[in-house]
Amino acid sequence: MAHSAVPITPRWPGVAAAALVLLLTLGTLGAVAWRAEWAGGLAPADWAAIRFTINQALISALISVMLAVPVARALARRRFRGRQLLITLLGAPFLLPVIVAVLGLLAVFGRGGLLNQALTGLGFEPISIFGMQGVILAHVFFNLPLAIRFILQGWLAIPAERFRLAAALNAPVGRLLEWPMLRAVVPSTFLVIFLICLTSFAVALTMGGGPGATTVELAIYQAVRFDFDLGKAALLAFIQFVLCVGAALLALRVTPEDRTGAGMDRVVQRWDAARAGVDYAWIIAAALFLLVPLGMVVLRGLPGFLDLPASIWSAALRSITVAIGSAALCISMALALALRGGATVAIIGVMPLAASGLVVGTGAFLIVFPYVRPADVALIVTMLVNATLALPFALRSVAPAAAAVKADYGRLGASLGMSGWGWLRLVAIPRMRRPLGFATGLAAALSMGDLGVIALFAGQAEETLPLAMYRLMGAYRMETAASAALLLLGLSLLLFWICDRGGRADVDT
């Protein structure tokens, strides 16, 4: 019988996965740094892009957090039918393709949207959401739900016994319980959203208003696709990476430890929740802000759905192929790294968070450009980069389950002489199907909606569905774009549902 820890899985898959992640993060960054024209410096327009990127990210994160606090407080204090479903829908931004959400926002706030129709009917001048205000609006739409989820978890982590004690002593709940929690949770939430807004490409591409609303990522895209100035693109990409690393390190530094203490898992009863009308007003406003644009995508996409041109269906097929390949690679890397374990693997697994997809794509472009035509490897590179960028989310889901299986069954498997594929097939994978299915679906949905890397590499023959949608919007074919958005939304949710449902089917362990 085995009396000590015995390796039951081969080491080479974890080593190979770590090497691929390092190649696609540090390797592409090295290519960017090598090609960067350090002596040339930055033009005034480049400095303007850097300032705009930082300013819009700061404002977007600030508004998202400020609005999330009262909504999360209302959800924490109220119990109503459909509450759990509403909270579940707050995870939609992780699955929703950016270009689809942008089209929904345009249907509500755009030039011919519901808001401007109402303003015109009342005799007011229509408003434009393109430029800084449009970028901020879209970022708040994506990140408000994320901020609500983070802050709501902070509220729910306060033991119910503390609220009972505060009620018994007639103590101020806000000052003694809620304010300390907010001081611990809000800074890290703000920095995470700030990091997300720094690396947003599709939002700036579709909602930006020209040179005055250009982000660093958009400047990289323009330097590669239009000016073919690889040196300038490399320098901007390196600056983008430095900004992301700084924000990521600061976010990790201010992430709080759980010091709320343990409770007895009682349901929280809030005796201080007197103003129900205010709380429900916040909940209804947040739900409308999130769900109306999605409803408009469905309504505007249905009429022309059956008349979509063949090119859209071809782009959809390419997107599905890339998504399936990306998800398979991502979950394979996540499983290999999770079973390998260790602090080094954990660090490697989160490295893609500091790497923007466009920065990685720029590095990959610089690596392959001297040898092959970038369009010829567009789908393969997109698949690799999407798998790497989704890895932190997949690893977060798979790693705890892998650690539990190794702790519970590792010694038993070793004592029975089980190792390698046999142990994985008979022991590990059956007990990890739930997180594996969820992580696979998440990676597929994220890849399905990508509009970053593919925009650098693809020509007309290699375009995916998000890129085809963007080109339709640029040609003012909004009806066809709306139908394509509905197709993209449906395919993304379908891929996620198939993978997640497959992981949960007939699982008894």
Asked if residue 330 and residue 277 are part of one domain, the reply reads: no
Cβ neighbourhood burial of 129 (10 Å; 0-12, 13-18, 19+) = buried
Q: Are residues 400 and 446 in the same domain?
A: yes
Same domain, 258 and 313: no
Give the burial string for 29-63 (b: 16+ CB within 10 Å, else e): bebbbebbeeeeebeeebebbbebbbebbebbbeb
Average pLDDT over residues 82-103: 73
Q: Among 65-74, 93-102, 394-403, which range has the highest average pLDDT?
A: 65-74
Claim to verify: residue 87 and residue 212 sit in the same structural domain? yes
- Based on the domain organization, do 288 and 329 belong to the same domain? no
Residues 92 and 123 in one domain: yes
The dihedral of CA 310, 311, 317, 320: what is its sign?
negative
pLDDT-based confidence at 3, cuts 50/70/90? very low
Q: What are 179-219's pLDDT values in tens digits?
A: 777 877 888 788 878 888 887 777 877 776 566 678 888 88
The rounded mean pLDDT for the chain is 77
Domain shared by 69 and 11, yes or no = no
Greater pLDDT, 95 or 297: 297
Task: Indicate whether 336 and 287 sit together in one domain.
Answer: no
| pLDDT score at 320 | 93
In the predicted structure, residue 263 carries a pLDDT above the cut 50: no
Query: Higher-confidence residue: 173 or 429?
Result: 429
C-beta separation of 212 from 351 below 8 A: no
Q: Do 465 and 320 fall into the same domain?
A: yes
pLDDT at residue 62 is higher than 90:
yes
Which pTM does this prediction carry?
0.74
Q: Are residues 270 and 292 in the same domain?
A: yes
AA identity, residue 199: T
- CB-CB contact of 446 with 495 (8 Å): no
Q: What is the pLDDT of residue 329?
A: 93
Mean pLDDT of 476-501: 86
Stretch 107-116: mean pLDDT, rounded? 83
Number of compact structural domains in the chain: 2
List, for residues 437-455, the tens digit of each pLDDT value.
Answer: 888 888 898 888 887 778 7
For the range 130-133, what are the long-range contacts, defined as Cβ-Cβ under 8 Å and sequence gap of 24 or more? 130/207, 130/208, 130/209, 130/213, 131/207, 131/208, 131/209, 131/210, 131/212, 131/213, 132/52, 132/55, 132/56, 132/209, 132/212, 132/213
- Angle separating helix axes 44-77 and 276-301, nearest 10 degrees: 120
Contacts of 220 (CB under 8 A, 6+ apart): 233, 236, 237, 240, 358, 359, 362
Residue that is last in its domain, among 301, 316, 343 = 301
Of 122-136, 222-236, 361-375, minimum mean pLDDT range: 222-236
- Note whether 313 and 435 are same-domain residues: yes
Residue 237 shares a structural domain with residue 328? no
Q: Is the pLDDT of residue 221 over 60?
A: yes
Could you list the residue range(s) of the whole structural domain that residue 344 is in? 1-31+302-509
Instruction: Work out the angle between the directed axes of helices 28-35 and 357-368 (0-180°, nearest 10).
Output: 70
Structure-derived torsion over alpha carbons of residues 74, 76, 82, 87, reported in degrees to the nearest 10? 100
pLDDT at residue 39 tops 70: no
Q: What is the CA radius of gyration of the chain?
A: 24
Please report where in the chains the tokens 């008349």 appear, as a residue: 307
Q: Which of 301, 330, 365 is the last residue of a domain?
A: 301
**Tokens of residue 485, six digits:** 């958005």
- Assess whether pLDDT exceeds 80 at residue 71: yes
Structure confidence by residue, pLDDT tens digits, 365-407? 778 877 888 778 888 888 988 898 888 878 877 877 777 777 7
Average pLDDT over residues 240-248: 77
> Considering Cα of 316, then 321, then 326, then 327, what sign does the dihedral take?
positive
Final residue before a domain boundary, out of 301, 324, 346: 301
Q: What is the pLDDT of residue 9?
A: 58
- Answer with the residue of higher pLDDT: 45 or 409: 45
pLDDT value at residue 264:
39
CATH code, 290: 1.10.3720.10
Q: How far apart are CA 229 and CA 235, in angstroms?
A: 10
Instruction: Work out the pLDDT band at 67, boundaries 50, 70, 90.
Output: very high
Give pLDDT tens digits for 268-327: 555 455 567 777 888 888 888 888 888 888 888 888 888 888 889 999 999 999 999 999
> 354: which 2 tokens?
């500091």
